[in-house]
Chain A
Amino acid sequence: MASPWKLSGMQRQVLALYRCFLRAARLKNLEDRQRIVSVVSAEFHHNANNVDRKNFQYIEYLLRRGKRQLEQLKNSTTVSLSTINLNSCALNTITEDKKLASTYH
Protein backbone atom coordinates (compact mmCIF):
# COMPACT_ATOMS: atom_id res chain seq x y z
CA MET A 1 0.00 0.00 0.00
CA ALA A 2 1.12 3.54 -0.75
CA SER A 3 2.47 5.69 2.07
CA PRO A 4 0.10 8.20 3.72
CA TRP A 5 0.12 11.96 3.03
CA LYS A 6 2.97 13.67 4.78
CA LEU A 7 1.34 16.68 6.36
CA SER A 8 2.91 19.45 8.40
CA GLY A 9 1.06 21.02 11.31
CA MET A 10 0.26 24.05 9.19
CA GLN A 11 -1.07 21.92 6.35
CA ARG A 12 -3.31 20.14 8.83
CA GLN A 13 -4.64 23.50 10.00
CA VAL A 14 -5.41 24.53 6.43
CA LEU A 15 -7.19 21.25 5.70
CA ALA A 16 -9.17 21.51 8.95
CA LEU A 17 -10.25 25.05 8.01
CA TYR A 18 -11.25 23.89 4.53
CA ARG A 19 -13.31 21.09 6.09
CA CYS A 20 -15.04 23.59 8.40
CA PHE A 21 -15.93 25.77 5.40
CA LEU A 22 -17.42 22.80 3.53
CA ARG A 23 -19.37 21.78 6.66
CA ALA A 24 -20.70 25.31 7.12
CA ALA A 25 -21.77 25.37 3.45
CA ARG A 26 -23.82 22.19 3.97
CA LEU A 27 -26.16 24.15 6.22
CA LYS A 28 -27.11 26.58 3.45
CA ASN A 29 -29.69 25.86 0.78
CA LEU A 30 -28.51 23.95 -2.27
CA GLU A 31 -28.07 26.94 -4.56
CA ASP A 32 -26.13 29.02 -2.01
CA ARG A 33 -24.14 25.97 -1.05
CA GLN A 34 -22.95 25.30 -4.60
CA ARG A 35 -21.93 28.92 -5.01
CA ILE A 36 -20.13 29.02 -1.66
CA VAL A 37 -18.32 25.74 -2.30
CA SER A 38 -17.10 26.86 -5.72
CA VAL A 39 -15.74 30.16 -4.34
CA VAL A 40 -14.13 28.56 -1.28
CA SER A 41 -12.67 25.70 -3.30
CA ALA A 42 -11.22 28.09 -5.90
CA GLU A 43 -9.72 30.27 -3.16
CA PHE A 44 -8.04 27.37 -1.34
CA HIS A 45 -6.71 25.81 -4.54
CA HIS A 46 -5.51 29.17 -5.81
CA ASN A 47 -3.57 29.88 -2.61
CA ALA A 48 -2.25 26.32 -2.45
CA ASN A 49 -0.77 26.73 -5.92
CA ASN A 50 0.45 30.30 -5.61
CA VAL A 51 1.61 30.89 -2.06
CA ASP A 52 5.14 29.82 -1.27
CA ARG A 53 4.91 26.93 1.19
CA LYS A 54 7.70 28.49 3.27
CA ASN A 55 5.92 31.83 3.61
CA PHE A 56 4.61 30.92 7.06
CA GLN A 57 3.71 34.45 8.05
CA TYR A 58 1.47 34.95 5.06
CA ILE A 59 -0.12 31.51 5.50
CA GLU A 60 -0.77 32.33 9.17
CA TYR A 61 -2.43 35.53 8.03
CA LEU A 62 -4.58 33.67 5.48
CA LEU A 63 -5.58 31.17 8.18
CA ARG A 64 -6.66 33.96 10.52
CA ARG A 65 -8.56 35.71 7.76
CA GLY A 66 -10.19 32.41 6.77
CA LYS A 67 -11.32 31.75 10.35
CA ARG A 68 -12.90 35.18 10.52
CA GLN A 69 -14.70 34.62 7.23
CA LEU A 70 -15.86 31.21 8.43
CA GLU A 71 -17.49 32.81 11.46
CA GLN A 72 -19.34 35.18 9.15
CA LEU A 73 -20.40 32.33 6.91
CA LYS A 74 -21.80 30.44 9.88
CA ASN A 75 -24.05 33.40 10.56
CA SER A 76 -27.42 32.39 9.15
CA THR A 77 -27.91 35.68 7.33
CA THR A 78 -24.85 35.18 5.16
CA VAL A 79 -25.93 33.85 1.78
CA SER A 80 -22.97 34.57 -0.42
CA LEU A 81 -19.23 34.93 -0.46
CA SER A 82 -17.26 36.67 -3.11
CA THR A 83 -13.67 37.36 -4.05
CA ILE A 84 -12.62 40.44 -5.97
CA ASN A 85 -9.16 40.54 -7.46
CA LEU A 86 -7.74 44.01 -7.91
CA ASN A 87 -4.34 43.75 -9.57
CA SER A 88 -2.28 41.62 -7.22
CA CYS A 89 -4.26 42.64 -4.19
CA ALA A 90 -7.04 40.22 -3.34
CA LEU A 91 -9.97 41.69 -1.52
CA ASN A 92 -12.36 39.27 0.05
CA THR A 93 -15.82 40.34 0.94
CA ILE A 94 -18.64 38.55 2.55
CA THR A 95 -22.05 39.78 1.61
CA GLU A 96 -24.81 39.69 4.11
CA ASP A 97 -28.26 39.78 2.65
CA LYS A 98 -30.00 42.14 5.00
CA LYS A 99 -33.24 41.90 3.07
CA LEU A 100 -33.37 38.19 3.68
CA ALA A 101 -32.62 38.69 7.36
CA SER A 102 -35.37 41.25 7.77
CA THR A 103 -38.01 38.86 6.46
CA TYR A 104 -37.43 36.67 9.49
CA HIS A 105 -37.79 39.42 12.05
Chain B
Amino acid sequence: MATALRIAVLRHIRIPVQALEGFRPASASWNLFRGQNRSLSSHGDEHLEREEVVERVLAVVKSFPKLDPSKVAADSHFQKDLGLDSLDGVEIVMALEEEFKLEIPDKEADKIDSCSVAIEYIFNHPMSG
Protein backbone atom coordinates (compact mmCIF):
# COMPACT_ATOMS: atom_id res chain seq x y z
CA MET B 1 0.00 0.00 0.00
CA ALA B 2 2.73 2.42 1.03
CA THR B 3 4.83 1.35 -1.95
CA ALA B 4 1.96 1.92 -4.36
CA LEU B 5 1.36 5.36 -2.92
CA ARG B 6 5.04 6.22 -3.15
CA ILE B 7 5.18 5.21 -6.81
CA ALA B 8 2.03 7.20 -7.55
CA VAL B 9 3.46 10.29 -5.92
CA LEU B 10 6.84 9.93 -7.62
CA ARG B 11 5.13 9.61 -11.03
CA HIS B 12 3.55 12.99 -10.55
CA ILE B 13 6.62 14.82 -9.41
CA ARG B 14 8.47 16.60 -12.17
CA ILE B 15 11.62 18.54 -11.52
CA PRO B 16 11.93 21.51 -13.87
CA VAL B 17 15.01 21.24 -16.07
CA GLN B 18 15.82 24.94 -15.61
CA ALA B 19 16.60 24.37 -11.94
CA LEU B 20 19.41 21.99 -12.91
CA GLU B 21 20.84 24.40 -15.47
CA GLY B 22 21.98 26.63 -12.63
CA PHE B 23 24.36 23.94 -11.38
CA ARG B 24 26.23 23.53 -14.60
CA PRO B 25 28.77 26.37 -14.39
CA ALA B 26 29.67 25.30 -10.88
CA SER B 27 30.26 21.68 -11.83
CA ALA B 28 32.29 22.70 -14.88
CA SER B 29 34.66 24.76 -12.76
CA TRP B 30 34.86 21.93 -10.27
CA ASN B 31 36.02 19.61 -13.05
CA LEU B 32 38.61 22.16 -14.09
CA PHE B 33 39.81 22.38 -10.52
CA ARG B 34 40.10 18.61 -10.27
CA GLY B 35 42.12 18.50 -13.45
CA GLN B 36 44.77 20.76 -11.95
CA ASN B 37 45.03 18.81 -8.75
CA ARG B 38 46.45 15.43 -9.45
CA SER B 39 44.87 12.66 -7.45
CA LEU B 40 47.13 10.65 -5.16
CA SER B 41 45.83 7.39 -6.58
CA SER B 42 48.48 4.76 -7.07
CA HIS B 43 46.66 3.11 -9.95
CA GLY B 44 46.57 3.38 -13.69
CA ASP B 45 46.91 6.48 -15.81
CA GLU B 46 47.32 8.90 -12.89
CA HIS B 47 50.96 7.83 -12.51
CA LEU B 48 53.50 10.49 -13.37
CA GLU B 49 55.32 10.45 -16.68
CA ARG B 50 59.07 10.09 -16.42
CA GLU B 51 59.70 13.35 -18.28
CA GLU B 52 57.48 15.22 -15.86
CA VAL B 53 59.35 13.74 -12.87
CA VAL B 54 62.72 14.75 -14.38
CA GLU B 55 61.48 18.26 -15.10
CA ARG B 56 60.01 18.83 -11.65
CA VAL B 57 62.98 17.32 -9.77
CA LEU B 58 65.39 19.55 -11.70
CA ALA B 59 63.19 22.59 -11.07
CA VAL B 60 63.27 21.93 -7.31
CA VAL B 61 67.06 21.40 -7.28
CA LYS B 62 67.65 24.52 -9.41
CA SER B 63 65.60 26.61 -7.00
CA PHE B 64 67.99 25.69 -4.16
CA PRO B 65 69.70 28.98 -3.26
CA LYS B 66 73.24 27.67 -2.72
CA LEU B 67 73.93 26.48 -6.23
CA ASP B 68 74.25 27.67 -9.80
CA PRO B 69 71.07 26.57 -11.63
CA SER B 70 72.93 26.29 -14.95
CA LYS B 71 75.09 23.48 -13.52
CA VAL B 72 72.12 21.28 -12.61
CA ALA B 73 71.57 18.30 -14.91
CA ALA B 74 69.68 15.03 -14.57
CA ASP B 75 72.89 13.19 -13.63
CA SER B 76 74.30 15.80 -11.20
CA HIS B 77 75.68 14.47 -7.93
CA PHE B 78 74.79 16.81 -5.05
CA GLN B 79 78.24 16.66 -3.48
CA LYS B 80 80.64 16.08 -6.37
CA ASP B 81 78.99 18.13 -9.10
CA LEU B 82 77.07 20.76 -7.18
CA GLY B 83 79.35 21.20 -4.16
CA LEU B 84 76.64 20.59 -1.58
CA ASP B 85 77.03 18.87 1.78
CA SER B 86 74.77 16.23 3.30
CA LEU B 87 72.76 18.87 5.23
CA ASP B 88 71.95 20.58 1.91
CA GLY B 89 71.01 17.14 0.61
CA VAL B 90 68.48 16.80 3.44
CA GLU B 91 66.99 20.18 2.53
CA ILE B 92 66.64 19.21 -1.12
CA VAL B 93 65.03 15.86 -0.29
CA MET B 94 62.58 17.64 2.03
CA ALA B 95 61.71 20.09 -0.78
CA LEU B 96 61.16 17.12 -3.12
CA GLU B 97 58.88 15.52 -0.52
CA GLU B 98 56.72 18.62 -0.58
CA GLU B 99 56.76 18.95 -4.36
CA PHE B 100 55.63 15.34 -4.88
CA LYS B 101 53.49 15.07 -1.74
CA LEU B 102 55.56 12.20 -0.35
CA GLU B 103 57.02 11.26 2.98
CA ILE B 104 60.41 9.66 2.37
CA PRO B 105 61.69 7.52 5.28
CA ASP B 106 65.14 8.36 6.67
CA LYS B 107 66.68 5.16 5.36
CA GLU B 108 65.65 5.96 1.81
CA ALA B 109 66.32 9.69 2.12
CA ASP B 110 69.95 9.04 3.15
CA LYS B 111 70.51 7.25 -0.18
CA ILE B 112 69.31 10.17 -2.29
CA ASP B 113 72.55 11.94 -3.13
CA SER B 114 72.08 12.91 -6.77
CA CYS B 115 69.39 14.07 -9.18
CA SER B 116 69.32 10.70 -10.91
CA VAL B 117 68.72 8.75 -7.68
CA ALA B 118 65.98 11.23 -6.72
CA ILE B 119 64.30 10.90 -10.14
CA GLU B 120 64.47 7.11 -9.97
CA TYR B 121 63.06 6.98 -6.44
CA ILE B 122 60.19 9.39 -7.16
CA PHE B 123 59.33 7.82 -10.52
CA ASN B 124 59.08 4.38 -8.92
CA HIS B 125 57.12 5.61 -5.90
CA PRO B 126 53.43 4.74 -6.29
CA MET B 127 52.25 7.75 -4.27
CA SER B 128 54.10 10.47 -6.20
CA GLY B 129 51.70 13.22 -7.14
Q: When A12-B106, A48-B85 are in contact, do A1 and B90 touch as well, CB less than 8 Å?
A: no
Q: A5-B86, A48-B85 are in contact. Are A16 and B116 (CB under 8 A)?
A: no
B52 at the interface (CB under 8 A from A): no
Contacting pair A19 B106 (CB below 8 A): yes
The closest CB in chain B to the CB of A4 belongs to: B113
B residues in contact with A100, CB < 8 Å: none
Task: Tell me, rounded to whole Å, the shortest Cβ–Cβ distance linking A20 to chain B.
Answer: 9
Chain B CB within 10 A, most for which of A1, A5, A15: A5
Flag whether A11 is at the interface (Cβ < 8 A). Answer: yes
Question: B85-129 interface mask toward A, CB cutoff 8 Å, 1 = contact, 0 = none?
Answer: 111011100100010000000100111011011000000000000
The CA of A45 and the CA of B65, in the complex, are separated in Å by 14
> Quick one: given A1-B75, A2-B114, A4-B111, are A16 and B86 in contact (CB under 8 Å)?
no
Q: B24 interface residue, CB < 8 Å from A?
A: no
Q: How far is the CA of A41 from the CA of B23 in the complex (A)?
A: 50
Contact of B109 among A4, A19, A41, A44 (CB under 8 A): A19
Provide the residues of chain B in CB contact with A15, threshold 8 Å.
86-87, 89-90, 106, 109-110
On B, residues with C-beta under 8 Å from A are: 75, 77, 79-81, 85-87, 89-91, 94, 98, 106, 109-111, 113-114, 116-117
On A, residues with C-beta under 8 Å from B are 1-2, 4-5, 7, 11-12, 15-16, 18-19, 22-23, 26, 41, 44-45, 48
A/B interface sample: 26 pairs, CB < 8 A: A1-B114, A1-B117, A2-B77, A2-B79, A2-B80, A4-B113, A4-B117, A5-B79, A5-B89, A7-B110, A11-B86, A12-B110, A15-B86, A15-B87, A15-B106, A16-B106, A19-B94, A19-B106, A19-B109, A22-B90, A22-B91, A22-B94, A23-B94, A26-B98, A44-B87, A48-B85
